[in-house]
């Protein structure tokens, strides 16, 4: 019997992020607590820029945006914040920049591979291919066990399982 396999990837649906950003921007423009604080949320190239006149308002903008992302099924682990994640003063306003993470970094791929090797079934093999991992085994049950294992693991990257055969 041929080996079964699947790929572990970390991809972010940019259209869903764009929809969440537009919904959040619309809510920010209409909510009473964001009036006269210069609160905004927008794309700047590949970066999402959140602005307001106080640190607390920027955090509130971020909270609205994160809520919209979760409702649209986008993992919050796919956002990477500039600096240490705190809003920075920029002139008269505070701003916070976020970028989208795509692909699995080499060190995260090694961590995932180690988890599979140490805690997964012994018949399962994993191999790093660029910014994704290919997991193979003769048993589909073992592959499903690996998926359950990785879903329960506390990793700092959003994982999707694709190309299951």
Mean pLDDT computed over every residue of the chain = 89
Asked if 61 and 83 count as a contact pair (C-beta separation under 8 A), the reply is no
Q: Which of 78, 100, 122 is the last residue of a domain?
A: 100
Q: How many helices (H) and strands (E) does the chain have?
A: 4, 9
CATH code of 92's domain: 3.30.70.990
Q: What is the pTM of this model?
A: 0.83
Assess whether 68 and 108 both reside in one domain.
no
Assess whether 20 and 72 both reside in one domain.
yes
More confident residue, 83 or 49: 49
**Joined tokens for residue 41:** 């949320």
In this model, does residue 1 exceed pLDDT 60?
no
Taking the C-alpha atoms of residue 37 and residue 34, their distance in angstroms, rounded to an integer, is 6
Q: Which of 73, 100, 127 is the last residue of a domain?
A: 100
Assess whether 85 and 133 both reside in one domain.
no
Q: What is the pLDDT of residue 27?
A: 93
């Amino acid at each position: 019997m041929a080996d079964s396999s699947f790929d572990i990837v970390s991809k972010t649906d940019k259209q869903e992020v764009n929809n969440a950003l537009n919904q959040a921007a619309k809510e920010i423009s209409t909510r009473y607590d964001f009036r006269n604080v210069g609160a905004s949320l927008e794309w700047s190239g590949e970066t999402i820029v959140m602005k307001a006149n106080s640190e607390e308002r920027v955090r509130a903008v971020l909270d609205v945006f994160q809520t919209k992302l979760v409702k649209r099924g986008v993992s919050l682990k796919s956002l990477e914040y500039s600096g240490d994640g705190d809003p920075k003063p920029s002139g008269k306003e505070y701003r916070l920049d976020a970028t989208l993470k795509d692909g699995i970094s080499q060190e995260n791929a090694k961590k995932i591979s180690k988890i599979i090797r140490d805690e997964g079934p012994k018949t399962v093999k994993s191999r790093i291919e660029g910014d994704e991992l290919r997991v193979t085994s003769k048993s589909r049950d073992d592959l499903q066990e690996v998926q359950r294992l990785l879903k329960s693991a506390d990793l700092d990257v959003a994982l999707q399982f694709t190309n299951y055969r």
